[in-house]
């Protein structure tokens, strides 16, 4: 029997299945100092993006001698010091197939909202404004979508965008993908110059700096749109706001922020910004798939 801690929640069906297998599951969020102590009593910890498992927490868990595995219930593992944990004998796993479709659909949702003023129309119409002439939008069909990073989420998004008639280009740190000849590979600087919509799909930078900073935004097409449903901090929010205010960018779709809950009110309230509160993987279907993958990972322990 394993004792399992889910710090950021877990689908109810997964909890029931784990309990049916004889395991004990606790769902509770801990602040970092408290988590260090708590993990001494668990065999497995399941985290989402809210919980950061850094070296001091790993040290405490290793000292306790009980923790066998850290599972990231989602795609990225940049909130976990993976190599450090594995060097301490603690396995690290994720659920890479679970939320790709959900995040890809949210990216499309932001793109459509920006292109057709859906989000801001919901605000202004409820304020009694009828801005029919003001909201002249653009169609996605025929536009070029530039994908920065080409993992599972990007693959899903590329398929969906292609079905809408978009031209898809991508860049990737490991170079072109031979399995996807229908999409054109190019270096980041070239992609930024050609894309009408740029969608970010990378983990956080190791040095903590923004991948898309003022210099990169300056390389983008005038009037382009920038979407970030990947990681907060990958886009420089100050530079982004400046580009929106100047008209360099027509709009931005943002699901992740440098500080969460988001506090950048100038960005949140900008009329050309579509915002959501880090809900990329927050669909019933994705959470069920995440739970199923978590169960399979634990079964393999």
Mean pLDDT of 85-113: 95
Q: What angle do CA 15, 16, 21 make, to 5 degrees?
A: 100
Say if residues 57 and 39 touch (Cβ distance below 8 Å).
yes
At residue 178, the pLDDT reads 87
Two tokens at 68?
Answer: 């066998």
- 238-284 pLDDT tens trace: 999 999 999 999 999 999 999 999 999 999 999 999 999 999 999 99
Q: How far apart are CA 156 and CA 152, in angstroms?
A: 6
Query: What pLDDT score does 208 carry?
Result: 81
b vs e for 103-114, b when ≥16 Cβ sit within 10 Å of the residue's Cβ?
A: bbbbbbbbbbbb
CB atoms within 10 A of CB 174: 6
Report all structural domains of the chain as residue ranges with CATH numbers, in order of start: 3-96+283-299 (3.40.50.720), 100-275 (3.40.50.720)
Task: Look at residue 301 in the predicted model and tell me its pLDDT.
Answer: 86
Q: How many CB atoms lie within 10 A of CB 248?
A: 17
Question: Coil, strand, or helix at residue 197?
Answer: strand
Catalytic residues: 231, 260, 278
Cα distance between residue 254 and residue 279, in whole Å: 10
User: What is the average pLDDT value for the chain, to the nearest integer?
Assistant: 96
The token pair that represents 23 in the structure block: 């395991």
Percent of the chain with pLDDT over 70: 100
Q: Between these two residues, 285 and 205, which has the higher pLDDT value?
A: 285
Instruction: Look at residue 78 in the predicted model and tell me its pLDDT.
Output: 86
Model confidence band, residue 204 (pLDDT cutoffs 50, 70, 90): confident
pLDDT value of residue 234: 96
How does pLDDT run across 164-179, given as a tens digit for each residue? 999 999 999 999 998 8
Residue pair 224/196 in contact by the 8 Å Cβ criterion: yes
**Where does the pLDDT of residue 235 fall: very low under 50, low under 70, confident under 90, or very high at 90 and above?**
very high
pLDDT, residue 50, reads 86
Output the pLDDT for position 82.
96
**What pLDDT, on a 0 to 100 scale, did the predictor assign at position 14?**
96
CA distance 103 to 276: 12
What confidence tens digit (pLDDT) does each residue in 46-97 have?
999 889 999 999 999 999 999 999 999 988 888 999 999 999 999 999 998 8
Task: List b or e across 10-38, with b for residues whose CB sees 16 or more CB atoms inside 10 angstroms.
Answer: bbeebbebbeeeebebeeeebeeeebbeb
pTM here is 0.90
Stronger pLDDT, 49 or 214, i.e. the higher one: 214
């Amino acid at each position: 029997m394993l004792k399992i801690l889910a710090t950021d929640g877990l689908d109810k069906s997964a909890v029931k299945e784990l309990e049916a297998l004889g395991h004990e599951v606790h769902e509770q969020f801990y602040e970092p100092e408290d988590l260090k102590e708590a993990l001494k009593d668990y065999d497995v910890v399941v985290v989402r993006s809210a919980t950061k498992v850094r070296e001091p927490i790993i040290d405490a868990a290793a000292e306790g001698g009980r923790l066998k595995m850290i599972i990231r219930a989602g795609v990225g593992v940049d909130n976990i010091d993976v190599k450090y944990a594995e060097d301490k004998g603690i396995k690290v796993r994720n659920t890479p197939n679970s939320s790709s479709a959900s995040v890809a659909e949210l990216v499309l949702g932001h793109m459509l909202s920006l292109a057709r003023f859906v989000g801001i129309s919901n605000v202004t119409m409820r304020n009694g404004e009828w801005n029919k002439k003001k909201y002249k939008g653009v169609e996605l069909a025929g536009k070029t979508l530039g994908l920065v990073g080409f993992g599972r989420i990007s693959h899903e998004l590329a398929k969906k965008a292609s079905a809408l008639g978009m031209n898809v280009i991508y860049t990737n740190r490991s170079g072109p993908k031979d399995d996807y000849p229908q999409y054109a590979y190019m270096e980041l600087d070239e992609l930024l110059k050609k894309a009408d919509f740029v969608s970010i799909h990378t983990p956080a930078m190791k040095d903590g700096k923004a991948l898309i900073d003022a210099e990169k935004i300056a390389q983008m097409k005038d009037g382009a749109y920038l979407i970030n449903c990947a990681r907060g901090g990958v886009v420089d929010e100050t530079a982004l706001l400046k580009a929106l205010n100047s008209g360099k960018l027509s709009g931005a779709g943002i699901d992740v922020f440098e500080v969460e809950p988001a506090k950048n009110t100038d960005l949140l309230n900008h009329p050309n910004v579509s915002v959501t509160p880090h809900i990329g993987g927050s669909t019933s279907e994705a959470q069920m798939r995440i739970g199923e993958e978590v169960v399979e990972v634990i079964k393999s322990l």
